[in-house]
């Protein structure tokens, strides 16, 4: 096991880009390699040592054996774990845009908030965020109708707008509240929101499942009441309690399902 | 409005000039010229005419550089250009913003400069129809030229747009009033619908006004689509509109021969932003199963569409293109001007033919006040107040010819009618000159580095 | 500057040179018979030498392309490369940016490409893109098949007026020849409709495709344009459409040719999409045999194929109704762009997967046509870029055409589904193209079809547009080595354009501006003047731009190559 620890010593106002510092690429790097590395910042590259104290312990024969610990406020470090396929990254602080974007495997834990695009186009692996995210968590690249297709995102805080946009597989769990248009254009996969939702979950969804345990503000006209279900089983997961099941979004001939906690949403009964 | 007698005292008329105001690019203007100045404009709307007539109002005439006391001082062209080039060459996260009120010819030099230094190139779409472009990227872009609408349309819908005030000749020359090939009686052959929370001037002269509630756009269009699919609407009111009205409107839209929908910033900038357009485009696609419908965004600046077209043909992306890593990158929220400014990432800002000082949100302007700003423009404006280098350009379509793209993508070569003030330079020349000077600095740096 | 390409093995079908070891010499941008002793020697011993490639039909520049690029950032992202000392950044896979388009054609040894659909109203846009594409010359074909003036005159049989109009418009918009797309169908799409077959009249104008095709063909031959009419017939992509195709070709059979170089009076484009039998996608069968038989028996016809390459691509055509049908079929984002008084267009992304029956069938039909059409001078290699696949796949198609073994392998191992041979005749065809036939369908035939008198052959006096491929034809069995064939044709050892080395060993080493090819008709001025008097009142009333601002000013074609035609009437 190789443990790579980067401890922030100077925060850059212009974001650093970490797409080259993923386990797949650095598993065989020695401390000196990191010290010689120049990290992209704007249109330049500057020494990584300008920004971090670097510790490297142990050895790794493959990316699986790498654990990267990022200590400090990484709120200006973009593309953490982008495209990684194995290993582990722990961020002890906030993470900037595209954390875990296009990741294929391994695990990322953020002990803080993550900016927009966390888990964009994720194909596998696990992304756990102890805080909240902003917009487009677990989304597609703009223009693509194929979004996150595998893996799991767990969000302990709140989700911003358009969570799981174009979701094409995988699972997203939100422990907190969620803003508008969760699961917009989704065509497969599962989204569970434990808290409250402002409005319009599942807009233009073609397929997949959304389950809301909290209270919903406004439901779209594109959803058609199906039935009341008790203790439903969805995608192999069991839930206790009474849920109102809708099908939609019929605006796009959607075959998706939206489950709404019946107790918290009595006005929809 | 007081009666103004027609202008009769002029030396010559330049016909078929193009208006450099809104996205209509009306190309039928007659400029009445006396002593090298425009003394009258025929055919233009008040917005267009006043821009042409008041071309010398608060005109920037000489290059200026801000001194250590914070005052703009007049300097010669070399000094100003060198100062600007030095700032650009030394920047780490430069943005070149604007471009929508200059020519494609100018942009050609701009992109080379951007590629050279690794800048972000962005235009006004980032604060206006950017959401429309995002929606287009998600669900499609069924458009038609304005003449298709003039010749065929029997229903015109304006949503989140008030052309009577923003694009005064849109209805008069292209959509509602003109007599078309298949609409020989003009206005009488068409039904005009305005969808807008506000009872705007356009709504006042429409046949139908749908005053849905603010932020209700997405829910409203979703309900129309559900109705088009044959669903009986559940809720009595959707977004404040009675369900009967929604059902009736859906039916009417299905039964026209040719419908056209024009949308503006009222749709792009409410709660669900790009998704309003997204839903409207899909509604329109649905309608094409029954009859013909097209849409077009009501682009604001005369060449805002041109920049999007130009960037896409050069680099594959329409706006917010980031060359920092040596290749083009387009990522909404990351490579756009407002995000880079509010995150205080940008360190040198060049504005070409735009006025961020007047248009940007407070946080973004605040950062602009803290970093070097280079302005290429023809008028003194709020942006001049925060500029460190001011480079006075020329008036495209009047003092300088250039290519622009109308809101529907029709290219027009805007011809020159009068000479520019002697001390000004063409935008094209200014940007080319900056490119040359930055190239020299970069070459020198490379030579030093290789030693 | 003088050069000798030494000891190459030359394929120059126009001069009936098929694999001869000989030197090719050029000086000051032109092929010459002799050079002085100062000539620079490029040793290409035992390498294949051909004229630079000529693509007779692709969509590379213009409004549709840019709509595609604007609305498919996910495609643009796929082809992104970093800038180099020579090249700017590239982007795009199926719809590359303009610079990328030039570099990529150049790397394949191409020198000339036709932009197959230029809407006259937005011709300035097409020319702006042509100017932004380096290294290849571009021939834009303006669209006439749904033009309201043409529809009216065709109805009234006024051929002189149409000829005069075409002559004027080619000059006004700087175009090379007459393109016809879904005649009458695209106009019907103005009302959300379409026409079916060549005898189905379009609403209001009440004229049929047959009348429009014939009228434009007669006008074309009246003027003696270098190229014939270039037609995308009705019913594209519909099962059972081959009779429409054959009827479209047959309806001009009696019209006499009037062009010095070409043999044909009609060029059928992307024949693959027009060669289906059956009645629906359920019972669809190949109609390639019937179409190929017609072409084999009729010398007034040439075609290009539009071969499906099994990629995710972007379809774009002036056939607006077809694109909406396609969107209905695959549900992917639909763009449309109708142009007042002239034409329309549509765009839809499409995934031609070998795992799906229909794309496999289309793949089979395209190859079947290539193998059934006997005379390589009647057929050209295209993918109708980007419709059936991106042009960067030409080398792969060459490898398929040269290897029956590879084709059988694809059908056997499931790279394509059973419809590729069960619904087509491909499984029974073992013909393999040789290098000379490849040289014909990728350069010589296209150049002849377009009546080019300065390219497509290594004739002294012609442009020194030459491609060298790193293959020894005496040493390779293309049947057994398709990967090597694909690699070599995709990475030219040299691409020489107007005597300048642009590509060396598959890398672009030099970037030059492209030329725009257009046709200037002389001797028809009186008729043109009369017809413009008739056109102008209508133009002024129904267009939304002024005529002065409609015209393409000279500076939009900074490097024109003008073909002057002396109208013979």
What DSSP assignment string belongs to C371-411? HH---GGGEE---TTTTSS-GGGHHHHHHHHT-HHHHHHHH
Q: What is the C-alpha separation between A66 and B130, in angstroms, rounded?
A: 41
Q: What is the mean pLDDT of residues B255-282?
A: 95
Which of C244, C245, C283 minimizes the C-alpha distance to C361?
C283
Q: What is the C-alpha separation between C266 and C283, in angstroms, rounded?
A: 30
Q: What is the mean pLDDT of residues B302-316?
A: 98
Categorise residue A144: left if φ over 0, alpha if ψ from -120 to 50, beta otherwise.
Answer: beta
Proportion of chain C above pLDDT 90, given as a percent: 99
Which of C214, C5, C112 minimizes the C-alpha distance to C445?
C112
Q: What is the C-alpha separation between A23 and A1, in angstroms, rounded?
A: 12
B137·A142 Cβ contact <8 A:
yes
Angle, alpha carbons B184-B186-B190 (nearest 5°): 110
Q: What is the mean pLDDT of residues C256-278?
A: 96
Q: What is the C-alpha separation between C225 and C228, in angstroms, rounded?
A: 7
Q: What is the mean pLDDT of residues C499-522?
A: 98
For residue range C287-318, what is the model confidence (pLDDT) as tens digits? 999 999 999 999 999 999 999 999 999 999 99
Q: Which residues pair with C494 in a beta bridge?
A: C468, C504
A43·B93 Cβ contact <8 A:
yes
Which of B128, B162, B197 minimizes the C-alpha distance to B47?
B162
Using alpha carbons, list the distances in angstroms from residue C544 to A110, B157, B171, B408: 57, 19, 12, 11
For residue range B387-424, what is the model confidence (pLDDT) as tens digits? 999 999 999 999 999 999 999 999 999 999 999 999 99
Where along chain A do its domains lie? 2-223
Give the DSSP letter string of C258-321.
--SS---SEEE-SGGGG-EESSSSSS-EE-HHHHHHHHHH-TTEEEE-----SSEEEEEES-HH
**Residue in chain C nearest B294 by alpha carbon:** C336
HEC states along chain A?
CEEEEEEECCCCCCCEECCCCCHHHHCCCCHHHHHHCEEEECCEEEEHHHCEEEEEEECCCCHHHEEEEEECCECCEECCCCCCCCCEEEEECCECCCCCCCCCCCEEEECCCECCCCCCCCCCCEEEECCCECCCCCCCCCCCCCCCCCCEEEECCCECCCCCCCCEEEEEEECCCECCCCCCCCCEEEEEECCCEEECCCCCCCCCEEEECCCEEECCCCCEEEEEEECCEECCEECCCEEEEEEECHHHCCCEEEEEECCCCHHHC
Task: Identify the three-state secondary structure at position C238.
Answer: coil
Q: What is the C-alpha separation between B186 and C141, in angstroms, rounded?
A: 34
For residue range C109-136, what is the model confidence (pLDDT) as tens digits? 999 999 999 999 999 999 999 999 999 9
pLDDT band at C568 (very low <50, low <70, confident <90, very high): low
A263 exposure class (CB count in 10 Å sphere: 0-12, 13-18, 19+) = exposed
For residue range C379-410, what is the model confidence (pLDDT) as tens digits? 999 999 999 999 999 999 999 999 999 999 99
Q: What is the C-alpha separation between A205 and A182, in angstroms, rounded?
A: 10
For residue range C349-374, what is the model confidence (pLDDT) as tens digits? 999 999 999 999 999 999 999 999 99
Centroid of chain to Cα B202: 20
End-to-end CA distance of chain C: 43
Q: What is the C-alpha separation between C473 and C139, in angstroms, rounded?
A: 32
Residue B72 has pLDDT above 60, yes or no: yes
Q: What is the C-alpha separation between C113 and A156, in angstroms, rounded?
A: 56
**Chain B interface test: which of A43, A222, A255 (most B C-beta within 10 Å):** A43
pLDDT value of position B289:
96
- Chain B residues touching A222 at Cβ < 8 A: 222-223, 225-226
pLDDT value of position B451:
80
Give the DSSP letter string of C509-564.
----B--EEEEEEES-HHHHHHHHHHHHHHHHHH-SS-HHHHS--GGG-SSEEEEE
H-state helical runs in B119-242: 130-139, 146-152, 163-166, 168-169, 201-204, 217-228
Neighbouring residues of B269: CB distance < 8 A, sequence distance ≥ 6: B131
| Cα dihedral sign, A206-B135-C385-C87 | negative
Residue B1 has pLDDT above 70, yes or no: no
Which of B110, B125, B106, B121 minimizes the C-alpha distance to B402?
B106
Burial B303-335 (b: 16+ CB within 10 A, else e): bbbbbbbbbbbbbbbbbbbbbbbebbbbbbbbb
* Chains within contact range of chain C (3+ C-beta pairs < 8 Å): A, B
pLDDT band at C259 (very low <50, low <70, confident <90, very high): confident
pLDDT value of position B450:
85
CB contact at 8 A, C19 and C435: yes
CB contact at 8 A, C177 and C225: yes
* Chains within contact range of chain A (3+ C-beta pairs < 8 Å): B, C
Domains of chain C: 2-51+459-508 (2.30.40.10)
Number of inter-chain CB pairs under 8 A, B vs C: 190
pLDDT value of position C416:
97
For residue range A146-189, what is the model confidence (pLDDT) as tens digits? 999 999 999 999 999 999 999 999 999 999 999 999 999 999 99
Which of C151, C143, C149, C148 minimizes the C-alpha distance to C177?
C143
Q: What is the mean pLDDT of residues C335-348?
A: 97
CB contact at 8 A, B302 and B100: yes
C553·B413 Cβ contact <8 A:
yes
Q: How far is the alpha carbon of A96 from chain B, nearest alpha carbon, in Å?
A: 10
Q: What is the mean pLDDT of residues C188-200?
A: 97
Look over chain C and give the mean of its residue pLDDT values, rounded to a whole number.
97
Number of inter-chain CB pairs under 8 A, A vs B: 105
pLDDT value of position B237:
95
Proportion of chain A above pLDDT 70, given as a percent: 100
- Chain A residues touching B119 at Cβ < 8 A: 43
Q: What is the mean pLDDT of residues C414-418?
A: 96
**Residue in chain A nearest B136 by alpha carbon:** A143
Neighbouring residues of C327: CB distance < 8 A, sequence distance ≥ 6: B140, B285, C333, C334, C346, C348
Using alpha carbons, list the distances in angstroms from residue B366 to A13, B90, C501: 15, 22, 52
Q: What is the mean pLDDT of residues B49-61?
A: 90
For residue range C52-87, what is the model confidence (pLDDT) as tens digits? 999 999 999 999 999 999 999 999 999 999 999 999
Q: What is the largest CA-CA distance in chain A?
A: 64
Domains of chain B: 64-125+302-397+420-450 (3.40.50.740), 130-297 (3.40.228.10)
Secondary structure element (H or E) that encloses residue B194, with its range: strand B191-195
**Residue in chain A nearest C72 by alpha carbon:** A143
CB contact at 8 A, A44 and A30: no
The residue count for chain A:
269
Determine how many CB atoms are found less than 10 A away from the CB of residue A179: 18
C97·B330 Cβ contact <8 A:
no
Q: Is the peptide bond before B112 cis (omega within 30 degrees of 0)?
A: no
Neighbouring residues of B130: CB distance < 8 A, sequence distance ≥ 6: B268, B274, B319, B320, B332, B336
Phi, psi (degrees; rounded to nearest 5) at A165: -60, 130
For residue range C544-566, what is the model confidence (pLDDT) as tens digits? 999 999 999 999 999 999 999 99
Residue C567 has pLDDT above 90, yes or no: no
Neighbouring residues of C260: CB distance < 8 A, sequence distance ≥ 6: C224, C451
Proportion of chain B above pLDDT 90, given as a percent: 96
A142·C74 Cβ contact <8 A:
yes
Q: What is the C-alpha separation between A118 and C480, in angstroms, rounded?
A: 48
Phi, psi (degrees; rounded to nearest 5) at B362: -50, -45
CB contact at 8 A, A49 and A33: no
CB contact at 8 A, B392 and B378: yes
pLDDT band at C28 (very low <50, low <70, confident <90, very high): very high
C80 vs A: CB within 8 A: no
For residue range B99-136, what is the model confidence (pLDDT) as tens digits? 999 999 999 999 999 999 999 999 999 999 999 999 99
Q: What is the C-alpha separation between B120 and B340, in angstroms, rounded?
A: 10
pLDDT value of position A61:
97
Which of B310, B331, B283, B299 minimizes the C-alpha distance to B125?
B299
- Chain B residues touching C99 at Cβ < 8 A: 314
B181·C91 Cβ contact <8 A:
no
pLDDT value of position B427:
97
The residue count for chain B:
451
pLDDT value of position C154:
98
pLDDT value of position C417:
97
Angle, alpha carbons B372-B377-B379 (nearest 5°): 115
Using alpha carbons, list the distances in angstroms from residue C349 to A223, B316, C49, C324: 28, 16, 37, 12
Q: What is the C-alpha separation between B184 and B392, in angstroms, rounded?
A: 47
CB contact at 8 A, A189 and A148: yes
pLDDT band at C569 (very low <50, low <70, confident <90, very high): low
**Weakest-pLDDT range from B268-272, C231-235, C381-385, C469-473:** B268-272
Which of B379, B265, B382, B360 minimizes the C-alpha distance to B20?
B379
For residue range B251-268, what is the model confidence (pLDDT) as tens digits? 999 999 999 999 999 999
Q: What is the C-alpha separation between C437 and B17, in angstroms, rounded?
A: 54
Flag whether the ipTM exceeds 0.85.
yes
- Chain B residues touching C122 at Cβ < 8 A: 409-411
Q: What is the C-alpha separation between B167 and B171, in angstroms, rounded?
A: 8
Neighbouring residues of C83: CB distance < 8 A, sequence distance ≥ 6: B115, B326, B327, C89
For residue range A108-123, what is the model confidence (pLDDT) as tens digits? 999 999 999 999 999 9
């Amino acid at each position: 096991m190789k443990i790579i620890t980067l401890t922030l010593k100077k925060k850059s106002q212009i974001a650093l880009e970490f797409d080259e510092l993923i386990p797949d690429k650095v598993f065989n790097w020695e401390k000196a390699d990191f010290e010689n590395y120049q990290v992209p910042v704007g249109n330049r590259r500057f020494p990584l040592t300008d920004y971090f104290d670097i510790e490297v312990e142990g050895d790794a024969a493959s990316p699986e054996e790498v654990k990267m610990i990022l200590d400090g406020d990484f709120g200006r470090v973009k593309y953490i774990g982008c495209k990684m396929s194995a290993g582990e990254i722990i961020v002890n602080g906030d993470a900037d845009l595209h954390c875990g974007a296009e990741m294929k495997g391994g695990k990322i834990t953020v002990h803080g908030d993550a900016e927009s695009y966390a888990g964009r186009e994720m194909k596998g692996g696990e992304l756990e965020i102890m805080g909240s995210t902003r917009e487009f968590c677990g989304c597609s690249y703009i223009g693509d109708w194929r979004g996150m297709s595998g893996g799991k995102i767990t969000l302990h805080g709140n989700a911003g707008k358009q969570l799981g946009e174009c979701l094409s597989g995988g699972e997203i769990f939100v422990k907190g509240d969620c803003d508008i248009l969760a699961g917009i254009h989704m065509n497969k996969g599962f989204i569970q929101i434990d808290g409250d939702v402002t409005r319009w979950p599942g807009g233009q969804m073609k397929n997949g499942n959304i389950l809301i345990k909290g209270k919903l503000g406004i439901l779209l006209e594109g959803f058609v009441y199906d039935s009341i279900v008790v203790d439903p089983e969805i995608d192999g997961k069991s839930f206790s309690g009474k849920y109102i099941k809708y099908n939609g979004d019929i605006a796009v001939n959607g075959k998706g399902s939206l489950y709404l906690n019946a107790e918290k949403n009595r006005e929809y009964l | 409005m007081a009666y103004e007698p027609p202008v009769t005292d002029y030396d010559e008329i330049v016909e078929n000039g193009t208006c450099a105001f809104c996205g209509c690019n009306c190309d039928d203007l007659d400029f009445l010229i006396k002593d090298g100045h425009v003394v009258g404009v025929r055919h233009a709307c008040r917005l267009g005419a006043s821009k042409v007539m008041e071309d010398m109002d608060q005109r920037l005439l000489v290059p200026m550089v801000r001194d250590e006391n914070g005052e703009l001082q007049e300097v010669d062209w070399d000094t100003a250009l060198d100062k600007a080039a030095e700032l650009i060459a030394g920047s780490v996260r430069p943005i070149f913003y604007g471009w929508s009120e200059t020519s494609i010819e100018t942009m050609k030099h701009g992109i080379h400069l951007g590629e050279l230094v690794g800048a972000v190139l962005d235009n006004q779409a980032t604060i206006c129809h950017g959401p429309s472009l995002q929606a287009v990227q998600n669900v499609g872009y069924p458009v038609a030229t304005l003449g298709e609408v003039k010749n065929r349309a029997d229903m015109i819908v304006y949503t989140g747009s008030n052309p009577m005030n923003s694009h005064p000749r849109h209805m008069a020359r292209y959509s509602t009033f003109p007599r078309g090939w298949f609409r020989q009686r003009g206005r009488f052959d068409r039904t005009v619908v305005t969808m807008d929370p506000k009872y705007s001037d356009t709504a006042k002269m429409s046949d139908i006004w749908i005053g849905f509630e603010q932020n209700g756009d997405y829910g409203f269009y979703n309900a129309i689509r559900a109705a088009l699919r044959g669903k009986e609407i559940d809720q009595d009111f959707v977004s404040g509109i009675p369900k009967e009205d929604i059902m009736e409107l859906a039916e009417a839209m299905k039964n026209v021969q040719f419908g056209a929908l024009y949308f503006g910033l009222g749709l792009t900038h409410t709660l669900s932003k790009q998704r309003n357009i997204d839903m409207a485009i899909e509604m329109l696609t649905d309608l094409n199963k029954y009859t013909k419908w097209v849409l077009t965004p009501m682009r604001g600046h005369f060449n805002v569409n041109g920049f999007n077209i130009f960037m896409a043909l050069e680099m594959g992306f329409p706006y917010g293109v980031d060359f920092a890593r040596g290749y083009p990158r387009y990522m909404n929220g990351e490579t756009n001007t407002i995000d880079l400014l509010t995150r205080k990432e940008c360190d040198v800002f060049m504005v070409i033919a735009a006025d961020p000082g007047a248009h940007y949100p407070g946080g973004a302007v605040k950062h602009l006040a803290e970093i070097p700003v280079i302005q290429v423009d023809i008028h003194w404006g709020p942006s001049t107040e925060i500029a460190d280098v001011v480079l006075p350009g020329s008036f495209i379509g009047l003092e300088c010819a250039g290519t622009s793209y109308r809101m529907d993508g029709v290219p027009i070569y805007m011809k020159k009618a009068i000479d520019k003030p002697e001390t000004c330079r063409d935008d094209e020349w200014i940007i080319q000159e900056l490119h040359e000077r930055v190239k020299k600095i970069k070459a020198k740096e490379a030579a030093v580095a290789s030693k | 500057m003088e050069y000798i390409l030494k000891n190459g093995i030359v394929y120059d079908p126009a001069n009936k040179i098929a694999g001869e070891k000989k030197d090719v010499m050029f000086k000051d941008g032109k092929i010459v018979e002799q050079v002085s002793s100062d000539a620079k020697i490029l040793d290409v011993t035992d390498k294949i030498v051909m004229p630079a490639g000529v693509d007779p039909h692709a969509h590379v520049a213009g409004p549709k392309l840019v709509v595609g690029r604007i609305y498919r950032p996910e495609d643009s992202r796929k082809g992104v490369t970093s800038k180099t000392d020579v090249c700017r950044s590239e982007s795009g896979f199926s719809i590359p940016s303009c610079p990328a388009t030039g570099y990529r054609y150049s790397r394949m040894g191409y020198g000339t490409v036709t932009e197959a659909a230029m809407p006259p109203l937005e011709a300035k846009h097409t020319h702006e893109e042509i100017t932004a594409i380096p290294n290849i010359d571009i021939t834009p074909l303006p669209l006439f098949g749904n033009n309201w003036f043409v529809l009216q005159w065709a109805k009234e049989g006024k051929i002189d007026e149409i000829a005069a109009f075409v002559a004027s418009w080619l000059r006004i918009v700087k175009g090379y020849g007459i393109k016809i797309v879904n005649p009458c169908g695209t106009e019907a799409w103005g009302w959300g409709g379409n026409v079916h077959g060549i005898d189905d009249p379009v609403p209001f104008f009440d004229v049929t495709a047959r009348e429009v095709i014939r009228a434009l063909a007669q006008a074309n031959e009246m003027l003696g344009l270098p190229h014939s009419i270039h037609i995308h017939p009705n019913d594209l992509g519909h099962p059972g459409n081959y009779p429409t195709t054959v009827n479209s070709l047959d309806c001009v059979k009696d019209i006499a040719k009037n062009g010095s170089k070409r043999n044909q009076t009609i060029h059928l484009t992307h024949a693959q999409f027009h060669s289906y039998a059956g009645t629906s996608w359920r019972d669809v069968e190949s109609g390639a045999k019937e179409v190929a038989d017609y072409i084999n028996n009729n010398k007034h016809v040439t075609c290009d194929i539009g071969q499906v390459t099994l990629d995710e691509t972007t379809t774009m055509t002036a056939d607006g109704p077809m694109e909406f049908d396609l969107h209905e079929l695959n549900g992917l984002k639909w763009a449309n762009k109708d142009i007042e008084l002239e034409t329309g267009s549509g765009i839809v992304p499409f995934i031609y997967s070998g795992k799906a029956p229909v794309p496999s069938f289309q793949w089979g039909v395209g190859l079947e046509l290539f193998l059934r059409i006997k005379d390589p001078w009647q057929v050209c290699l295209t993918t109708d870029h980007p419709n059936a696949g991106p042009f960067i796949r030409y080398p792969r198609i060459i490898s398929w055409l040269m290897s029956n073994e590879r084709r059988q392998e694809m059908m056997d191992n499931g790279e394509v589904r059973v419809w590729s041979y069960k619904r087509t005749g491909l499984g029974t065809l073992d013909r393999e193209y040789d290098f000379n036939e490849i040289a014909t369908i990728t350069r010589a035939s296209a150049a002849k079809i377009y009546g080019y008198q300065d390219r497509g052959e290594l004739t002294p006096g012609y442009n020194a547009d030459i491609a060298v491929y790193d293959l020894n034809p005496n040493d390779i069995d293309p049947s057994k080595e398709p990967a090597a064939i694909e690699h070599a044709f995709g990475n030219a050892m040299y691409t020489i354009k107007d005597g300048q080395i642009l590509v060396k060993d598959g890398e672009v080493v030099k970037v030059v501006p492209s030329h725009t090819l257009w046709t200037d008709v002389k001797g028809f001025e009186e008729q043109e003047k009369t017809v413009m008097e008739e056109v102008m009142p209508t133009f002024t009333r129904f267009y939304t731009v002024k005529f002065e601002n409609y015209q393409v000013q000279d500076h939009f074609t900074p490097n024109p190559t003008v073909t002057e035609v002396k109208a013979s009437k």
